[in-house]
Chain A
Amino acid sequence: MVKEAISIKPKSEGRKLWRTFLRNRASVLGLALAVLVTVVSVGAPLFTAYDPLAQDTHSRLLPPDPTHILGRDTFGRDLYARLLYAGRISLLVGVCAVLLGGLIGCSLGLMAGYTGGKVENGIMRLVDTLMAFPSLLLGMLVLAVLGPGLVKMVVAIGIMLSPGFARVMHGAALSLKKREFVEGARSVGAGPVRILGLHILPNVMGELVVLGSLWTASAIRIEASLSFIGLGVSPPTPTWGNMIRDGTPHLLNAPYLSVFPGIAILVTVLGFNLLGDGLRDVLDPHLRE
């Protein structure tokens, strides 16, 4: 009897959260979709034998058949291979833009909330102005300045996302800096960097992870929009956005050129949105609907 009781390990906090997460079918579906898209695009060569850039002008616009399951595009390139490789760009841009936006936004928000005064006023005024503006237009403006390219796309979307992060961090820093544990740390001589990094940041980590997931979804959708407009990564590199764009002149005779990449976007963005919702339920109980 006694032995048995001892052998039961206390459940760790992490495992408890994981079980809560698994209980929600929607979030599990989100995780599955996100993992699926990541695996097939990162491991693209394992899932297709075709080169996404190899042209074959004799088989232009051939409809789907058993060897080329999604058909061929205007240059006779295999649509399925292009779809998989394009996923790499979307995921890369999505994740990097969120990291960059998080870094810029969180630093600004923390600085504003922690220092107060004129710095706070200036930063938050800028954040409010940027937030008041439609983010897609902001991204277009930044890309008009920087020109097309993968890194520039990450920078543009990162800048678009940063005001949101700044606002969240600003609020957190404001409410946390008056709490006893922060004042305690300050009274024993901890500097601002230590306080921000060790005491304030961990307390908003949950919220940041949730926003990170939801905004990765937004970033992927925005990347697709900008690519569709023609401001994205330059051809021939495939992205879901520029594949749809290339397909639009052929909507009458070959609609699948635009329809399939769109499904890829939908599945990916839906996955990250569901994942974010699920994470919110787990990490942020007071926000639960």
Chain B
Amino acid sequence: MLKYIAQRLVLSVPVFLGVATIVFLVVRVIPGDPAVSALGDYASKEAVEALRQRMGLNEPLVLQYVHFLMNLVRGDLGTSMITGSSIGDEILRVLPYTLELTVLAIIIGSVLGIPIGVYTAIRRNQLADYLGRILSLTGLSVPAFYLGILLMLLLAIQLNWVPAVGGGGMDDLGENLRHLVLPALTLGLVMTASVARLARSAMLNVLRQDYVRTARAKGLKERVVHLRHALQSALIPIISVTGIWAVSLIGDSVTVELVFARPGLGKMMVGAILQRDYTALQSIMVVYTCFVVVINLAIDLIYGWVDPRIRH
């Protein structure tokens, strides 16, 4: 198992490098001089030149790239072009908010989505199945930020159960969790819809197989057929789609953080884009890439745990 983990870890390096490279290049092709856009159109030539020097913009592209990668390896995310403060510090300040949100949402999405998908597949074409399909298709069609607004209107403004906006701070655990409920529920429900839909079709695929019929024919109880024979083989595709939607949830977390005015990476990223703070944007994207790599790694490990054949 350790060897398998090491293998997966090594394999995730190219993905990380690939995305980091794309981010680096994309930020470099931004039209106009980033130093000018940081200082404004009326900045003196000398000031622009000094900033270019400080940011290393006068170096050849290859050298800039090497510096970028070396700083990443050292864990140095650079300084903001706008405020001049350390980007790493700012990210560390907001990272816990984004982490708790995405982790809880992924848990909600998997814990609700997978059982619903499996159950509706077993109850195919019965009331539960129709209901599940309608709900999951609706969930698939609603943008996360809009679901967030609806939940806020209902649970925070109408019923006053939980606070509507803010992050709740990191010191008071109770306050923090109360502020986490709505955003996590929003993201989790969006993920539930997609996961349930795909888990259902994965399970249906397996239920059609010959060995499931054989299991039934030899008189096993339905429960045993479903859980021992069908679910076990459906689990791999189900885990794989859960991973895909967990990654996609990272994207939606940006809009949800905006809706609930939560501190977090998403809010920071939108700020960086609107202020044209390209060094910050670049670093935030790198952190998001880490999220994606970690999720993929976790999925690989779960694969290995569920299916010993993959491990060997």
Contacts and interface: CB of A to CB of B under 8 A. Distances in A.
Interface of A: 125-126, 128-130, 132-137, 140-145, 217, 221, 224-225, 228-231, 244, 248, 251-252, 255, 258-259, 262, 265-266, 269-270, 273-274, 277, 289
B250 A137 contact: yes
16 contacts: A129-B19, A134-B250, A141-B281, A141-B285, A228-B255, A231-B273, A251-B164, A259-B149, A262-B143, A262-B146, A262-B150, A265-B143, A266-B141, A269-B141, A270-B138, A273-B140
A225 B15 contact: no
Interface residues on B, range: 35 or more
A140 B141 contact: no
B194 to A, nearest CB: 11
A229 B143 CA distance: 12
Nearest to B27: A145
Contacts of B254: 136-137, 140, 229
B137 interface: yes
Contacts of B105: none
Dominant SS among interface residues on chain A: helix
Nearest to A126: B18
A140 B201 CA distance: 32
Given A244-B149, A273-B140, A141 B23 contact: yes
A56 B141 CA distance: 34
Given A251-B157, A270-B137, A125 B30 contact: no
Nearest to A274: B137
B250 A142 contact: no
A273 B273 CA distance: 31
A106 to B, nearest CB: 21
Nearest to B289: A133
A134 B143 contact: no
Contacts of A277: 137
Nearest to B261: A248
Nearest to A262: B146
Nearest to A224: B143
B251 A136 contact: yes
Task: Identify the 6 closest CB pairs spanning chains A and B, nearest first.
Answer: A136-B251, A134-B251, A129-B18, A269-B141, A262-B146, A270-B141
Most B CB atoms within 10 A — which of A134, A140, A266? Answer: A134
Contacts of A244: 145-146, 149
Given A129-B19, A145-B30, A273 B153 contact: no
Dominant SS among interface residues on chain B: helix
A265 B150 CA distance: 13
A140 B142 CA distance: 19
A232 to B, nearest CB: 12
Contacts of B296: 132
Most A CB atoms within 10 A — which of B157, B251, B259? Answer: B251
A134 B247 contact: yes
B22 A129 contact: yes
B258 A141 contact: no
Contacts of B247: 132-134
A134 B288 contact: yes
Interface in B110-162: 137-138, 140-146, 149-150, 152-153, 157
A228 B137 contact: no
Given A136-B248, A141-B281, 9 more contacts: A136-B255, A140-B254, A144-B30, A224-B143, A244-B149, A251-B152, A251-B164, A255-B153, A266-B142
A289 B258 contact: no
A266 B150 CA distance: 12
B76 interface: no
Interface string B237-249: 0000000000111
A229 B144 CA distance: 12
A252 to B, nearest CB: 6
Contact of B141 (A136, A145, A221): A221
A134 B149 contact: no
B19 to A, nearest CB: 6
B90 interface: no
